[in-house]
Amino acid sequence: MDITITLIIIVVTVLISYMGFNRQDILNLLKHSPFMEVNKNEWYRLITSGFVHADWMHLGVNMYVLYEFGRIVEQYFLILFGPKGKLLFLLMYILAIMAGALPSLIKEKGNISYAAIGASGAVSAVVFIYMMMAPWSMLGIMFIIPMPAVLAGVAFLWYSSWAHKRNKRGFSGRPVGHMAHFYGAIFGMVFVAILKPEVLVDFWLQLIHPPWFS
C-alpha cells in the first residue's frame, strides 16, 4: 500500500481523536474555541480542532469519506501540480479546517461556552474538489441514493445553509457546525481555482456536456 498524504492524515486523526475520547483535557486543549483563540491567542485551535472528534461514529464517517475521495483528489493534485501536488493537498486540507472554523470564530468570539470539533470542513473541501473533477459521476447519498456529484453538491450546500438557520442538531443531539461544511466546501473549490484557473473551464465544459449527451 502506498503511503499517501490522505492515509497519513487519517492515521494521525484517528490517533489524536482516540486520545481525546479517553482524555477530556486533551479534547479541551485542542477543540475550536473562538473565545480562547481571540482572548488567549490560542490560534492553534483553528487547526487542531480538525483532528479531534465527538465519538467513533463522527470520526468513522469523516475518515471513511476522506479515504474514499482523498486518494482520488490527491492524485488529481499530482496531475495538476506535479511533485508539489502532495504538499499542496496537505496545505489545502489544513487551510480548509481553518476556513470552516472562520464563521464561528467571528460570530462566537465572545461566547466562552461555544466549542466545535471535527474534520468536516476539510472533508467537505476534498469532496467538492472531486465534484469539480467529475461533476457527473454518481455518488451514493447517505451511501444509498445515487445522484450526480454536482447535484449532490448543490443539495449539500442548500442543506447546510438551511440546517444552520434552523440550528439543526446531529443524531447524538450535539450541535453540528453546518456552516463549517459549507465554507470548507467552498474553500476547496476556490483553492484549486486560484492555483489552476483552467480547472474552472474544464469544470464548465463538463457541466454543459453531460456524458449521456456526448
- Enclosing H/E stretch for 101: helix 85-107
Q: DSSP string of 141-204?
A: ETTTEEEEHHHHHHHHHHHHHHHHHHT-B-TTS-B--HHHHHHHHHHHHHHHHHH-THHHHHHH
Q: Considering the domain 5-213, what is its CATH architecture?
A: Up-down Bundle (1.20)
Phi, psi of 32 (to 5 degrees): -70, 115
The reported pTM is 0.88
Could you tell me the residue ranges of all domains in the chain? 5-213
Question: In this structure, how many other beta carbons lie within 10 angstroms of the beta carbon of residue 160?
Answer: 23
Q: Which residues pair with 147 in a beta bridge?
A: 139
pLDDT digits (tens, 9 = 90+) for 66-89: 998 899 999 999 999 999 999 999
Half-sphere exposure of 12 (CA within 13 A, CB side): 14
pLDDT at 213: 64
pLDDT of residue 142 exceeding 70, the answer is: no
Residue 182 confidence (pLDDT): 83
Say how far apart CA 97 and CA 65 lie, in whole Å: 15
Task: With CA atoms as reference, report the closest residue to 177 among 135, 120, 125.
Answer: 120
- Comparison of pLDDT for 37 and 165, the residue scoring more: 37
- What integer pLDDT is reported at residue 163 of this predicted model? 57
Query: Residue 94 pLDDT > 50, yes or no?
Result: yes
Largest CA distance in the chain: 57
